[in-house]
Amino acid sequence: MLKSLLKTILAIEALAFLLISIFGKFFENAFTSLFAFPFEQLSMGLRFLSTSSAIGNVIAIILYSVICILPTVYYIFRAFKNSANTEDKLLILISVLLFPIIYLMINPAYIGRHFGAFELIEMNKSLLGVTIYSTIIGYLILRGLRIFNNSEAKSILKYMKVLMFIICIVLIYAIFGSGFSSLLSSMRQLMVDNTDLGQNLFLSKLFLILQNIVSILPFILQIIIIFSGFELIDALNKDPYSDDVVISARKTVNVCRNTIVAIMMSQITINILQFVLGSKVRSSHYTLSVPLMSVVLVLAVMLLASYFEQVKSLKEDNDLFV
């Protein structure tokens, strides 16, 4: 039930990113970058409200102040409950950053003046978004580490599932957001660079698609690994000494091993095909990516599988003596 819900959420996210990639050009004035979202749209709303009337300007200033001060209010709330920790002070820093960043986005001309490049305002909006997101993510990670450190095994497994799902969300963006946008951009560039109507670009377009598949394949396979990990976590939650744990661990090992094989073979195949076809492919892009994370994951899961088998065997031996 839960797994079906997670898959539905990821499917909706994938569809949303596909639509943004395809139709994003029609909304480029309101949506310049994912990293600028939602600060850019929020700032546009505040700017519209501010310029609408004197009362609208007052309301915009109040909303602007409330939005920026909210993280600090949350810090004060946690401090009042004696639950604030060292990392919670980053909430104050987030408020300090929100004031100038949102102000700059409300007044885009000031972005160009601040960075000294008026022609790069859209890119600088992304940089502003990255600045605030890096602080927010840093806070969440530090807060998560403390939660992990102070939690029992079953709670840690629950938080692990949440973390793994967040990773899936990021991977979906890499596949259907940046990955698909990159493919569309490469297709457009191919057409611009080859304006001779007599040229047959079918093969080049096909290889652009294949190259994109090779580049996003590790992300797709990582999602499969994560869902296999969900099954292992569920088995551990039910009974850490059961056969299901060992079976799930072995299954995850096989998924990880097959992932490495698929990544390496896809790279080898696309590189050799491009080499053989030579100039017939006007969009050659050779790939060399060593899946170190997948290798480490395979070794880690193999160790865990061996550990679970030994623990289960010891438990059975102990039960015999009892």
* pLDDT, position 160: 80
This prediction's pTM: 0.72
* pLDDT, position 263: 85
Question: pLDDT tier at 287 (50, 70, 90 boundaries)?
Answer: low
* Higher pLDDT pick, 127 / 117: 127
* pLDDT, position 152: 66
Whether 294 contacts 263, CB under 8 Å: yes
Residue ranges of alpha helices (H) inside 34-107 are 39-52, 54-80, 90-106
Out of 95-104, 155-164, 176-185, 213-222, the most confident range is: 95-104
Checking if the pLDDT of 7 tops 70, the result is yes
Checking if the pLDDT of 235 tops 70, the result is yes
Question: pLDDT tier at 316 (50, 70, 90 boundaries)?
Answer: low
The rounded distance, in Å, linking the Cα atoms of 159 and 144 is 9
* pLDDT, position 107: 86
* pLDDT, position 73: 94
* Higher pLDDT pick, 177 / 49: 49
Cis link prior to 108 (omega < 30° from 0)? no
* pLDDT, position 289: 66
* Higher pLDDT pick, 3 / 61: 61
Q: Averaged over 12-36, what is the pLDDT?
A: 70
Question: pLDDT tier at 16 (50, 70, 90 boundaries)?
Answer: confident
* pLDDT, position 25: 58
Checking if the pLDDT of 321 tops 70, the result is no
* pLDDT, position 30: 53
Checking if the pLDDT of 2 tops 80, the result is no
Checking if the pLDDT of 115 tops 80, the result is no
Q: Averaged over 291-317, what is the pLDDT?
A: 70
* pLDDT, position 207: 81
Checking if the pLDDT of 66 tops 70, the result is yes
Q: Tell me the percentage of the chain whose pLDDT exceeds 70.
A: 81
Domain-wise residue ranges, the chain: 1-25+171-317, 32-150
Q: From the CB of residue 210, how many other CB atoms can be counted at a distance below 10 Å?
A: 18
Six token digits for residue 227? 């869902």
CA count, 13 A, side-chain hemisphere, 142: 14
| Region for 178 from its dihedrals, namely left if φ exceeds 0, alpha if ψ lies in -120 to 50, beta otherwise | alpha
Q: From the CB of residue 290, how many other CB atoms can be counted at a distance below 10 Å?
A: 11
Q: Averaged over 32-40, what is the pLDDT?
A: 75
Q: From the CB of residue 309, how many other CB atoms can be counted at a distance below 10 Å?
A: 15
